[in-house]
């Protein structure tokens, strides 16, 4: 009976606390995010409402958790009571029988009762240990479930190629849908040749960031393949046959929309992206790159600037624009042969956008391949809408030489590519797509200029 009751209780712990544990993890993630962005929420007058919602969510989870564990403790006590009653009654029956049939066994019975009392105390300790283990069981189960998760796709080859040799990147019949079944990309075909500077342009939801995530190797495409084609061998190497850690750490330089800086000195954050196979830049070289991207604070022009602590733990809080410029400097310091800027100027004003895009253009060598993600063309035309048209492909005003215009998949024709245009700038200027990309205010600027 005791064993059956224990098995039943352990099964209930696994089943009933799984959802409670998941709710607690979700709550902790939301709470951490709320604290991190509390100043922004407070500025918008949303802080009290958020705190109230957060407290209500916690109380709801706490009630579920408390209800279950009160139920469990009650059943555990019942189990111990049943065991104690059966053991005590059984022991008394055996003891009385022994004394009545064999009076000389009285000392042995007394010793047996004493030993039984000691073992009963040990059993109670085991019961407390079992309760403690059961409280931790949901976390243990979740941990082992995470360990047993199958990878999205095996990295089969761990291949590398000579990153210093020119290579092209070919996207062949790329389609991608997320786990919820919502399609993000449909029938994408184009090739980025070595040294080309591309801009991916399109409104929110057009799949620009999804395409970048595929290039980063964050996930495999649902259909199709991305191929690396070294010029020396012309062999088509599937990106998922490449050592993805090496690909990200030594070949790619990536500046996300939200640049992440760790708690520590500015120097530590800049050197974080430099591969171990590359000589560490000197302080003078670090300062030179920071100055190129206007990332040096006013009044700081010597290498002591690199000792400034950044981050939340005792460091200074940086603005979005400052973080963005440091992120761009960090990517350039990496000496990557392929740079990706995902809305890298989204946090900057018009003056700094123009400055950063110009510096970005100057920092790229002729052999460096790059992708710049943008919502509109003003970013990729040096931040100046009046220069969007009637400029040749050799103009110094151009940030990128090639452009791909994506439309959201719901606005594209079924089973057809959502790429409206992919090619050189001059071809875009001469296409009908250009007129759709230029806003009315920008069109007026074009007329005036």
Asked whether residue 303 falls in the same domain as residue 230, the answer is yes
Quick check: is 152 in a domain? Answer: no
Has residue 153 been placed in a domain? no
Do 214 and 131 sit in the same domain of this protein? no
Residues 74 and 172 grouped into a single domain: no
Task: Say if residue 304 is in the same domain as residue 225.
Answer: yes
- Regarding whether 182 and 133 lie in a shared domain, the answer is no
173 and 140 in a common domain: no
The whole-number pLDDT of residue 355 equals: 63
H helix or E strand, kind and range, residue 159: none
Question: Do both 182 and 287 map to the same domain?
Answer: yes
CA distance 437 to 199: 13
Q: Are residues 280 and 396 in the same domain?
A: yes
CATH of the domain at 250: 3.40.50.300
Of 385, 429, 432, nearest in space to 403 by CA: 429
pLDDT at residue 298, as a whole number: 65
d(CA 328, CA 295): 9
How many angstroms from the chain centroid is the CA of residue 206? 20
Number of separate domains in the chain: 2
What is the residue-level pLDDT of the chain in tens, covering all 449 positions?
666 777 777 777 777 877 888 888 888 888 887 787 776 666 566 777 778 888 888 899 889 888 888 888 888 777 777 777 776 777 777 777 777 787 777 777 677 667 666 666 666 666 666 666 666 666 666 666 666 766 655 555 588 998 888 999 999 999 999 877 778 898 899 999 999 989 888 888 888 889 999 999 888 899 999 999 999 999 999 999 998 888 988 899 888 877 878 778 888 888 888 888 888 889 998 888 888 777 776 666 778 888 888 866 555 667 777 787 888 888 888 888 899 988 756 556 666 666 666 666 766 777 889 998 877 676 665 544 444 444 444 455 667 888 888 888 777 665 567 888 888 877 887 777 777 766 544 554 444 44
- Domain match, 102 and 213 both: no
Task: Assess contact for 99 and 105: CB atoms under 8 A.
Answer: yes
List of residues 6+ apart from 439 with CB closer than 8 A? 376, 385
Question: Is residue 161 included in any domain, yes or no?
Answer: no
Q: Both 114 and 218 in a single domain?
A: no
Within 13 A of 421's CA, how many CA atoms are on the CB side? 22
C-alpha neighbours within 13 Å on the C-beta side of residue 188: 35
Same domain, 360 and 256: yes
Last residue of a domain, one of 112, 147, 182: 147
Query: What are the tokens at 161?
Result: 């190629």
In a domain, 71, yes or no: yes
Cβ atoms of 357 and 341 within 8 Å: the answer is: no
- Among 182, 251, 165, residue whose Cα is nearest residue 215: 251
Spatial separation of the C-alpha atoms in residues 369 and 437, rounded to whole Å: 24
Enclosing domain of residue 14: 2-147
Point out which residues pair with 407 in neighbouring strands: none
């Amino acid at each position: 009976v005791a064993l059956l009751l224990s098995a039943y209780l352990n099964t209930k712990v696994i089943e009933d606390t799984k959802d409670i544990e998941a709710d607690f993890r979700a709550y902790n993630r939301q709470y951490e995010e709320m604290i991190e962005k509390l100043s922004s929420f407070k500025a918008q007058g949303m802080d009290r409402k958020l705190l109230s919602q957060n407290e209500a969510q916690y109380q709801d989870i706490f009630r579920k958790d408390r209800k279950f564990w009160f139920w469990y403790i009650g059943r555990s006590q019942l189990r111990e009571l049943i065991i104690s009653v059966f053991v005590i009654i059984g022991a008394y029956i055996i003891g009385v029988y022994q004394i009545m049939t064999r009076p000389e066994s009285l000392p042995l019975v007394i010793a047996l009762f004493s030993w039984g009392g000691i073992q009963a105390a040990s059993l109670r300790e085991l019961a407390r240990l079992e309760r403690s283990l059961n409280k931790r069981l949901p976390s243990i189960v979740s941990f082992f479930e995470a360990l047993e998760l199958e990878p999205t796709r095996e990295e089969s080859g761990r291949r590398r190629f000579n990153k210093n040799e020119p290579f092209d990147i070919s996207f062949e019949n790329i389609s991608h849908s997320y786990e919820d079944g919502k399609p993000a990309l449909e029938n994408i075909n184009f090739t980025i040749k070595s040294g080309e500077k591309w801009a991916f342009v399109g409104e929110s939801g057009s799949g620009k960031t999804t395409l970048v995530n595929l290039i980063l190797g964050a996930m495999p495409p649902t259909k199709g393949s991305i191929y690396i084609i070294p010029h020396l061998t012309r062999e088509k190497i599937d990106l998922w046959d490449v050592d993805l850690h090496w690909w990200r750490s030594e070949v790619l330089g990536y500046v996300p929309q939200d640049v992440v800086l760790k708690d520590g000195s500015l120097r530590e954050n800049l050197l974080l992206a430099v591969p171990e196979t590359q000589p560490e830049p000197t302080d003078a070289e670090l300062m030179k790159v920071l100055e190129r991207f206007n990332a040096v604070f006013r009044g700081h022009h010597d290498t002591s600037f690199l000792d400034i602590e950044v981050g939340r733990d005792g460091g200074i809080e940086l603005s979005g624009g400052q973080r963005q410029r440091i992120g761009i400097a960090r990517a350039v310091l990496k000496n990557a042969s392929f740079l990706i800027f995902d809305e890298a100027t989204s946090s900057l004003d018009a003056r700094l956008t123009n400055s950063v895009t110009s510096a970005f253009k100057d920092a790229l060598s002729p052999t460096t391949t790059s992708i710049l993600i943008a919502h509109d063309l003003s970013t990729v035309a040096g931040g100046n809408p009046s220069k969007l048209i009637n400029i040749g492909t050799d103009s110094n005003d151009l940030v990128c030489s090639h452009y791909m215009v994506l439309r959201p998949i719901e606005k594209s024709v079924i089973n057809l590519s959502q790429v409206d245009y992919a090619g050189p700038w001059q071809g875009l200027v001469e296409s009908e797509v250009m007129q759709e990309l230029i806003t009315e205010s920008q069109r007026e600027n074009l007329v005036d200029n």
